[in-house]
Structure 1
Amino acid sequence: MGHSAEELASALRQIDLAEVGPQEPLRAFGTLQELASAHAEDSAAREALTALSNVAGMMLKPDRWESPYLPAMQFGNRRTWLPEDLTDVHRGFLSYSYAWLPSGALRAQVIDVLFVSAVDRDERYKLASESVNAWIGVGLHGELNRAEEQGWRRAVEIALRYRFTEKVTALVDLAMETIRLEQPRSAWQIARALHESGTGREHADEIVERLRNASATVEDLGFQREILEQVRSWALTNRDSAVVAEVEEQIGDLWWEEAKQRKSSSHFMARDCFGNAYNEYKRVERSRRSSRMNKRLARLPRKIREEGELALEEMHAVESDPIDLTMLRDQVDEVLKEEDSLRAMAAWFARVPLESVQQAHATAKQSMRENPLSHLFSHTTVAADGRTVQHSASARGHGDIPGDVWSEMLRQWELKVGILAQGYIWPALVELSTRHKFNHGDFALLVRSSAFIPPEQERHYVTALHNGYYGRLSESIFMLAPVVEACVRACLQRAGIETRNIRADDTEIEPGLSALMELDGVDEALTPDLAWNIRALYCGPLGPNLRNRVAHGLLSESESNGAAALFAWWLALRLAFVPFFNGMMADSSEPQSGSSTERDPGAGQTPPHDDSEE
């Protein structure tokens, strides 16, 4: 027979928990498990310690108000506890016990879990107040750990929602004390949390100054850019356009400097860095651009193209037989042999490269030769909702490819994508997302490495990747379709291609993705293979036509969770991951040439080489 809440609380009070007090909850989870084993003969003590360890094993995710705790570990159908797993006895035991638990993150988490579990309005208000007080008591130290930052974020969210004005002020003061120490990583972390919470606006000037001081002490160019991005956010909040322009130029300079450093080891990386420099310089208001910046902006499209051409020399052509689609699951098994998450993802992309336009053309021609009768008669393409969207007699080609061949290319491509999605992409994604957790911050690291993605689209791109990784494809595709269009437009502008149309009344309009993909120079700006896959996936009446179907609300629920949406997400992840992985390999001094991931197009990253510098 189980023990009552009072018996469990009484048993716990007899145990010295001083060691557990200062520990992070996840570390306390292990300590409490050991204590429970040590008290195996005392059933009440063992049960009390086990219940407390189960609370410690809940992983706080402060950005999820509706369910702020996740299981720390999950194996198949088994996982560590969540707040909803607590019984009435457990909740009663914790309510009796938290008042005398040693101060620290564990005590704060216990109160917060009780707050999450509570239903009564008055009880929730009381626990909300005590939870925030407990998190304030945990404080922030010079070198922030995860528990402190996550606890601060959780506390400020509760305090803002319940209008605990004095507690919000106390939390802002804690953050400012950390920022004033000017320790780069801690200052950057808490300044980011402060900005995302919408608090501390009255300290914007000081935060900008402190972060700029901290960034000046950092040697790593990537981290220096991260800090300066936060400076930019605070300067925008403060409406200080002069500082915004200075910081944007400084970030562009850092990308330029990194491009120069990368040229000796990888033209792939140099091209990406020059592309990112271009994106940053373009963010600066025209009226605030220096003459040096204008000169660089004029030179960068050529430098990016030149560096892209040099990058071709780093590639090794790979000749192989067509992929045996019946063996795709074996390919998935090979991918999953990689224990490291990044190498597994690299293998995932390397084993099935993007289909090239030449390969698609050859496959279509072969199909037409082998099945001549099917191409003698006219065809009508009907959409899923019964609309006639194309007649073969009016089919348009592309470039020097006739309309009938282009239509067959799209038909073959769509068949292949359907098989790939079902037999390769989805099975691997399920396993990868089960084994390896990626949060928004992880995807942000990937996205910032890709020159395909302009800065103003990074947050949307990250959200789309995160949603798709955890199977929320509907949420992903409705963000990806417009974001990919914006990315393509930015790439074309960076390559010097004019994307705007001027009407007779002198107004300017931006054409849609299908029109953009018909502009001269698109294949050179995006690479022919990437351009082909974007056209097949997003443009025209044949194929998935995701851009227009999303824009006009024509995508059904099944389509938004179907093969085309999954492939769109996979392609988007590929365009972010490959530049990041190539950069990581370059940093670790591993050989670049011959790497199969480098065959991936630079995702709209226009091509550099000139070593001269103003």
Structure 2
Amino acid sequence: MTDADLEPVSQEHVQKNLPFWLTATLDDIQAVAFETPIGDCDSSDCGVLSTEFSKATDACKQRNDPASEPDARVFAMLQAVTNFHFRPTDRNAPFGPMMIMGDRRSAMPEDFRGDPIAVLSYAAANSKNPVLRARLADVCWLLERKRFQLGRIAISAYLDVLKGLAEGELKERFGRDEPLLGLAARDVLRRALSIARPIGWESEEAVAARTLLVDIRTLAATQGNPVPAHWFFEMDLDFGISDASTIAGAIEAYLLSGLVEPGSHIIVELWRLAARAFHSAKDEQGKYRCATAAAEALVDEALKHSSAMLGSHWLSEAISEYHGIPGKKDRRTELRHKLIDVQSGIADEMSSFSQPMDLSEIAAEVEQQLDGLDLLDALMIFADLEQSPTPEKLSEDARRSISEHPLAALMGASFHDEDGKVIHKSPGGGFGDGDNLGAVRTAIAQQESIRRSIHAAGQVLVARRYIVERFYVGEDTFHALLRHSPFVPHDVLATYSRGFARFFAGDNLTALYILTPVLENSLKHILKLNGHDVSTFDDARQVQEDRTISALFDQMRPELEQSFGDALIADIDNVFLSKPGPSLRHGVAHGFLNDSSPFGTDAIYAIWLIFRLCCVPIFPQREQIILPT
């Protein structure tokens, strides 16, 4: 993607100066053989089509021939539409900008309201490539629901994509042996069913899509890989295509068939899905049976880990899974005793998150170090691009700076918000007084701001761009990664996955507002795993309440440092809580951030820091993690 692909978000600017990819007219599209650039393309990935249209656009521009201008305008428009970020699980907003950089972004569906819809509609009706036809018809129907015929064309085109995958005419990006069980098939089928609901559930296209899902789900149940089985069983249940009791029975039979290798964590998710299906079928005994199996699978997961932190995490999950299942009180008590035994080893194991890895070359040459790595290793390197400085080093560097530049510490400092209000004051010290805590704190804040800026702009953004240009990074990627992390409680796994997926898509705003609040939840979760009580008791009202994150840092800092190490705790404090500093937790909680704040280096660093907190405990578990491909 080039700077030319990014346009200002401001609608006022769009109205005054249309981006080139919005200038094609109906006359242009009717006069141009618009599928010429993708004539030999056999990919099921719209991103590949976008690349070909981009090359064709550049070639037309380079000819500098007025006769080529209509071709360039048409190819540019098709490149923009095929370059959307595809989110099939979001029924109402399945497409978004591929990249957002500050106040600039790439194309999104809303840009094509009005006259461009006529251009896209013509192309949809006349396209031969099913991948392009599906995208064009889907976008037109999404923007104008009255064009229901285009919705039907979209469903049929998505089914043609699936047929092309099955017959080998279209290739999946990752080249699976069974392409109908891949990510491409999963995403286009879910999107086809999402359109079918409002278009007409009993229409010919909808019935064909529903039948195909049942066929693919049945196929998945004959394979040893439980991941696609979970995808398509869940899709069937989500759309209510098969009877819930049928789905529940099929999942249970699949798990008991011996096809699935024991020890895969996705087994837990399948048992949970079976319990959900039995609950929908009002079969409480089946629900309890499958929930029990899920709990025991979690116990098995805990027992196979040598790490006390990971073992206690999975045991806690197992105890929680048993909640509400009748007749399991003794088993819950047994697991609680086992949990206490395992937790006794956590203090020694998790006193520090430091890793015996030299990352100096990675920090200096990020792209060179990421070159050739698979997605999992790239994400692990991304999480370990930087290590938080210890409080001792921060203080030492601050005192040295004060000694070298004494005038900077001589007078007090005031810190103001954008409205001019004083939000923090730092008292002045003596001449070159490195022992003045206020001056030291101010120097630390200034130095940390510089360090965060260098790290965010020079490493995090470079690594993020490198990863998203080479890999598909979606919510399921982070779901598969973070479910191994004791820092991420199971009941907010989807929340964390959504937040990091939005960050890697360039949507810092959504990511920051999702991830900042759940940080507090995870800190409390780890303290609980370490056997600490994070609640307070109000004698007057006789009620218990959890401490806020500020209270945790004020009243339980030694416990936090014991669990995470003093360097990480100081880093969290400096970024999210303390003043002077960005104090992002306060800004997010009270809505004090402006629209540009999430795209600043402090916010980028904050999101990266949360990702590091999630990933550090699972670095030793690298070989046990399998990401969807």
Compute the TM-score of the two structures, normalised by the length of structure 2: 0.69
Residue 252 (structure 2) pairs with residue 212 (structure 1): yes
Name 2:8's counterpart in structure 1.
none
> Which residue of 195, 203, 209 maps to 2:243?
203
Rate the CA distance shift 1:91–1:393 in 2: closer, same or farther, 3 A. Answer: closer
- Cα RMSD between the aligned structures? 4.9
> Which residue of 456, 469, 487 maps to 2:522?
487
Which amino acid is 2:528 matched to? Answer: Q
Name 1:344's counterpart in structure 2.
378
Rate the CA distance shift 1:247–1:364 in 2: closer, same or farther, 3 A. Answer: farther
The 3-state SS of whatever aligns with 2:274 is helix
* Runs of at least 5 residues in structure 1 that lack an aligned partner in the other structure: 34-46, 72-78, 99-105, 396-400, 589-614
Rate the CA distance shift 1:126–1:349 in 2: closer, same or farther, 3 A. Answer: closer
Name 1:510's counterpart in structure 2.
546
Name 1:420's counterpart in structure 2.
455
Name 1:150's counterpart in structure 2.
187
* Runs of at least 5 residues in structure 2 that lack an aligned partner in the other structure: 1-26, 53-70, 99-105, 167-177, 430-435
Separation in structure 2 between the aligned mates of residue 510 and residue 491 of structure 1, nearest angstrom = 14
Name 1:95's counterpart in structure 2.
125
Name 2:473's counterpart in structure 1.
438
Residue 190 (structure 2) pairs with residue 190 (structure 1): no
Which amino acid is 1:466 matched to? Answer: A
The 3-state SS of whatever aligns with 2:420 is coil
Residue 152 (structure 2) pairs with residue 126 (structure 1): no
Rate the CA distance shift 1:315–1:194 in 2: closer, same or farther, 3 A. Answer: same
Separation in structure 1 between the aligned mates of residue 584 and residue 445 of structure 2, nearest angstrom = 14
Separation in structure 1 between the aligned mates of residue 603 and residue 159 of structure 2, nearest angstrom = 44
The Cα shift of 1:365 comes to 4.2
Residue 88 (structure 2) pairs with residue 62 (structure 1): yes
Which amino acid is 1:95 matched to? Answer: A
Q: Determine if contact 2:535/2:545 at 8 Å carries over to the other structure.
A: yes
Which amino acid is 2:201 matched to? Answer: F
The Cα shift of 1:553 comes to 1.0
Name 1:429's counterpart in structure 2.
464
Q: Determine if contact 2:244/2:281 at 8 Å carries over to the other structure.
A: yes
Separation in structure 2 between the aligned mates of residue 111 and residue 559 of structure 1, nearest angstrom = 37
> Which residue of 296, 299, 303 maps to 1:253?
296
Name 2:585's counterpart in structure 1.
547
The Cα shift of 1:514 comes to 0.9
Name 2:136's counterpart in structure 1.
113
Deviations 1:146-188 (A, max 9, x none): 4443332122111112243456566445434554563344432
Which amino acid is 2:515 matched to? Answer: L
Q: Determine if contact 1:492/1:525 at 8 Å carries over to the other structure.
A: yes
Separation in structure 1 between the aligned mates of residue 602 and residue 45 of structure 2, nearest angstrom = 40
The Cα shift of 1:284 comes to 4.1
Q: Determine if contact 2:576/2:586 at 8 Å carries over to the other structure.
A: yes
Range with greater deviation from structure 2 (174-183 or 523-532): 174-183
The 3-state SS of whatever aligns with 2:424 is strand
Separation in structure 1 between the aligned mates of residue 183 and residue 357 of structure 2, nearest angstrom = 44
Rate the CA distance shift 1:67–1:509 in 2: closer, same or farther, 3 A. Answer: closer
Separation in structure 2 between the aligned mates of residue 390 and residue 90 of structure 1, nearest angstrom = 54
The Cα shift of 1:567 comes to 0.7
The Cα shift of 1:449 comes to 1.6
Which amino acid is 2:239 matched to? Answer: T
Q: Determine if contact 1:349/1:574 at 8 Å carries over to the other structure.
A: yes
Q: Determine if contact 1:251/1:277 at 8 Å carries over to the other structure.
A: no
Rate the CA distance shift 1:262–1:509 in 2: closer, same or farther, 3 A. Answer: closer
Rate the CA distance shift 1:221–1:89 in 2: closer, same or farther, 3 A. Answer: closer
Name 1:300's counterpart in structure 2.
339
Rate the CA distance shift 1:287–1:113 in 2: closer, same or farther, 3 A. Answer: closer
The 3-state SS of whatever aligns with 1:531 is helix
Residue 399 (structure 2) pairs with residue 362 (structure 1): no
> Which residue of 491, 497, 508 maps to 2:532?
497
Which amino acid is 1:212 matched to? Answer: E
Name 2:602's counterpart in structure 1.
564
Separation in structure 1 between the aligned mates of residue 88 and residue 405 of structure 2, nearest angstrom = 59
Name 2:421's counterpart in structure 1.
387
Rate the CA distance shift 1:545–1:280 in 2: closer, same or farther, 3 A. Answer: farther
Rate the CA distance shift 1:61–1:349 in 2: closer, same or farther, 3 A. Answer: closer
Which amino acid is 2:125 matched to? Answer: S
Q: Determine if contact 1:301/1:495 at 8 Å carries over to the other structure.
A: no
Alignment: residue pair count: 529
The Cα shift of 1:568 comes to 1.2
Name 2:510's counterpart in structure 1.
475
The Cα shift of 1:337 comes to 3.6
Separation in structure 1 between the aligned mates of residue 570 and residue 505 of structure 2, nearest angstrom = 27
Residue 573 (structure 2) pairs with residue 535 (structure 1): yes
The 3-state SS of whatever aligns with 1:517 is helix
Overall identity of the aligned pairs, in %:
18
Name 2:348's counterpart in structure 1.
309
Which structure exhibits the higher relative contact order, with contacts defined as CA atoms closer than 8 Å and separated by 6 or more residues? 1
Compute the TM-score of the two structures, normalised by the length of structure 1: 0.70
Rate the CA distance shift 1:361–1:253 in 2: closer, same or farther, 3 A. Answer: farther
Q: Determine if contact 1:364/1:408 at 8 Å carries over to the other structure.
A: yes
The Cα shift of 1:194 comes to 3.2
Separation in structure 2 between the aligned mates of residue 245 and residue 537 of structure 1, nearest angstrom = 44
Q: Determine if contact 2:278/2:284 at 8 Å carries over to the other structure.
A: yes
Matches within 5 A, 1:221-236: 221-234=264-277
Which amino acid is 1:297 matched to? Answer: R
Q: Determine if contact 1:274/1:304 at 8 Å carries over to the other structure.
A: yes
Separation in structure 1 between the aligned mates of residue 350 and residue 145 of structure 2, nearest angstrom = 65
Q: Determine if contact 1:482/1:547 at 8 Å carries over to the other structure.
A: yes
> Which residue of 443, 449, 459 maps to 2:494?
459
Q: Determine if contact 1:381/1:390 at 8 Å carries over to the other structure.
A: yes
Separation in structure 2 between the aligned mates of residue 384 and residue 89 of structure 1, nearest angstrom = 45
